[in-house]
Amino acid sequence: MPLSETTPRTWRQRLRTPIRVLIGLFILDVGVWAFADVWQRHSPDDYAMRVAGCNHHPQELVIVGGSPVSEGIVPDELCCGEFPRVFALGLPGGTTTEFYHAILRACPMPPKLLIYGITASDINDSRNEPHGPASLMTLGDVCEWATTRPESREWVIRQYLLAKASRSWSLFRYRHGIRMWAALQADAMAPGAAPEAVREARELRNYADAIQSGNGYAPAAGFVTRRHDVNKQTGAELPPFAFLNKYKTGSHLKYLHKLIDWSNANDTQLILLDMPVTSDLEAQYPEAFAEYRERLSEIERQRGVTIIRAHRDIVGITDAGFADTIHLNGVGAKVLSQWLRYRLDEFKEPSEPNDDRLRAQAGGTRP
């Protein structure tokens, strides 16, 4: 190497290579950004896509909630004359805080009826969902969180800033989508290139297509046909449901009050639908469910909110209608959705729901 190459020069000269590398990365990033749609289709930001899907048209009925809603409510079953457009805004892994922000973003035209499919894990203060600050919140929302839930102030600021920083670099932002796309391309050229990645890529692409084209009902591939009773028969030990660990309530509930306030202010009727869970889950976390139900009763008393308690025995769903301890399978989802439809009708003119065939498929009868 010539001496001049190693002789120290000015900082600008010495940083020539890193600057060129940065320019190269910038050019690459522009190229990646230009194909953002392709990468998003292979690794969807499901929170953002569901919110955008709901936002696309004014909805008469919106059902919001976590994965029990995304897996367990079939919007088509709820469509009727009064509610021609129904959207299931199920955000897997979300908490009440996320659902409040999702409604703000997804419903600029408030719906006639808002159903919140609530479950115990939604209000567990021991958990927060990083997807919320990343995909649903503005800086104002983060500031509001910092004052509303000061115990997780640092967490939300960190998550929000990390998300903003990572989204400024397309290569990093779409890395998973690029990987999934590459897996499918490699599989097309040489089948069996990376079987696990290809399976994941296909599932994600189908999931993205379902979210984008439908009414929010896009159950995960495994949940539709899986049956909890069959799983139990194998004798496998039930895994813990980590979302109910260290159960405590308080600060997420503040956002439930905000949701109630928002509904009142926008003339939207809000119904809380206490989602069915298996007896196994209740047996695993009896204290969590006791506390959750107590909080629900308090809300009902204090705020006068309508609560529909869709207990499995009332709806008529046994373990055969669940995919695991908390999520309904395809049949269970249909039973619950039809039952809910009858209950909504009852608000106008009380009647007795009757569909024994579906209930038999779900493995139970109405008590």
Write down the least CB distance from residue 236 to another protein, Å.
Answer: 21
- Closest to another protein by CB, 189 or 236: 189
In the complex, least distance from residue 32 CB atom to another protein, rounded to whole angstroms: 9
**Minimal distance in Å, beta carbon 337 to another protein?**
36
Cα of first residue to Cα of last residue in the chain, in angstroms, is: 87
Shortest Å distance, C-beta 195 to another protein? 6
Token look-up 């600057």 returns 19
Closest approach, Cβ 193 to another protein, in A, equals: 5
Q: Which is nearer to another protein, 79 or 182 (CB)?
A: 182
We find the least distance from the C-beta atom of residue 23 to another protein, in angstroms, to be 9
Residue closer to another protein, measured from CB, 17 or 234: 17
> Of 85 and 175, which CB lies nearer to another protein in the complex structure?
175
Of 99 and 181, CB closest to another protein: 181
Which residue in 215, 218, 279 sits closest to 78, CA to CA? 215
Between 28 and 290, whose beta carbon lies closer to another protein?
Answer: 28
Torsion sign across C-alpha atoms 207, 210, 215, 219? negative
For tokens 């159903």, the residue is 115
Residue 1 vs 265, nearer CB to another protein:
1
Least Å from the CB of residue 207 to another protein: 19
Residue 210, number of CB atoms within 10 A of its CB = 15
**Residue 3 or 236: which CB sits closer to another protein?**
3
Chain residues binding another protein by CB under 8 A are: 1, 5-9, 13-18, 20-21, 24-25, 28, 171-172, 175, 178-179, 182, 186, 190-195
Question: Min. distance of Cβ 334 from another protein in angstroms?
Answer: 36
